[in-house]
Amino acid sequence: MALCKRGVQCCVTTIIRCSYAFQEVSAVSTYTPMLAYSRISVLPCRHHSSSQDRLGIFQRANARYMKFLQQRFPQLYILYTTFVKGFRLMVHDVKETRRIRMKMLTQNVPLRELPYHEMKTIILFRKDMIKAIPLIIISIPPFAIILVFALMYLFPRQLLIRHLWTPQQQQDFQRLYHEQRCQHRESILNGVAWSIPHVREWTLRSHLLNLISKERAVENNVVQVQSGTHPSVKDIHDVRGVFSGQPLGISAMDTGHMRLLSSHLLLNPWLPGFFLRRRLRAKALDLFYLDQALETLGQGQLTDTEIREACYLRGLDPSSLTTGQCREWLLQWLQLSTQLTESETSLLLHNMVLLSVNYRRP
């Protein structure tokens, strides 16, 4: 863990130092390859008119270059502009994360007490840095940058962070990730069904059976959520006690079920059991704190894009839904999440399946 934190700190420091040189150029004109790889600093000059003339030359040259690139190599132009915009967004996230970290340190503010947008920035940035560390390590040897660019072009989903994806790649990768999540939903539902006999309290067992099965016949053993019925918030709320202890609490789940949840969350499912339990607990608490902060902020303060991102983060595919349907689903999620305690956060991980699998199903 110490090595991981040290690596993240080194990566953040490197990105910040690179960003200073980048901003000196981008503040004057749009980014160009010639300006990016040269060490040109715009400093105060006695001959002000000469400096302005040079800047005008650079701007005109940049405009001609961009026009040439767009006309002759449109695909390369898209990749180029995406990389430039993504790099600027990444630099912004680095600075924003640094500011929030300093605020947490100087004012002794824990993560769970941060406002929604600041908390979301910290969580997503941590995820991006974990993904970016291997690429940065590969680029350390001399002349390895050529290999890095080749790998970035061939494997953008595995190596590039979300800021460096083109709009088409963002849609394609999001759809692919959602399909990977859907592959494990049926197994997770079966795992919940198999845990019913292990629930000691009869009332909880009855509520869980009512949630999972819909007057299922003996011959076909139909499962409610698999048959197309969207459960209500009350149905899920009635079984919250099952997810605080035996058999589906994070501290009580068996390793096989934890591997299924990890696969659904796009985490590595083949780590040792205590690592899986730790990562699932951290993921559940992140969702729990985000929901508390979002409830304080108010759903109406989010843009349509932020609403869709919030739904996707919680297991729903918003691509085939309207913004109104996404807001309706997020409201249902918050109605349940804000009534839970930290000991019941395992329900949030299962709720990513229970509440989304049949929502607005045709």
At residue 86, the pLDDT reads 81
At residue 11, the pLDDT reads 47
Q: Which residues of the chain have pLDDT under 50?
A: 1-48, 214-224, 226
Burial of 280 (0-12, 13-18, 19+ CB in 10 A): buried
CA–CA distance, 309 with 350 (Å, rounded to integer):
19
132-187 pLDDT, tens digit each: 787 778 777 777 767 777 777 788 888 888 888 888 888 899 999 999 998 999 89
At residue 164, the pLDDT reads 83
At residue 32, the pLDDT reads 38
At residue 137, the pLDDT reads 80
* 12 close to 129: Cβ distance less than 8 angstroms: yes
Q: List, as own/partner pairs, every contact residues 30-34 make where C-beta atoms lie below 8 angstroms and the sequence separation is at least 24, other chains included.
A: 30/59, 30/62, 30/66, 30/84, 31/84, 32/58, 32/61, 32/62, 32/65, 34/61
Helices marked H in the chain: 2-26, 33-37, 48-72, 74-106, 116-138, 145-154, 156-159, 167-182, 185-194, 202-212, 233-237, 255-264, 273-297, 304-313, 323-337, 346-354
The amino acid at residue 160 is: L
201-213 pLDDT, tens digit each: 889 999 888 888 7
The amino acid at residue 279 is: R
* 332 close to 233: Cβ distance less than 8 angstroms: yes
At residue 155, the pLDDT reads 86
At residue 361, the pLDDT reads 57
Task: State in Å, rounded, how far the first CA of the chain is from the last one.
Answer: 46
As beta bridge partners, residue 361 has: none
CA–CA distance, 196 with 173 (Å, rounded to integer):
36
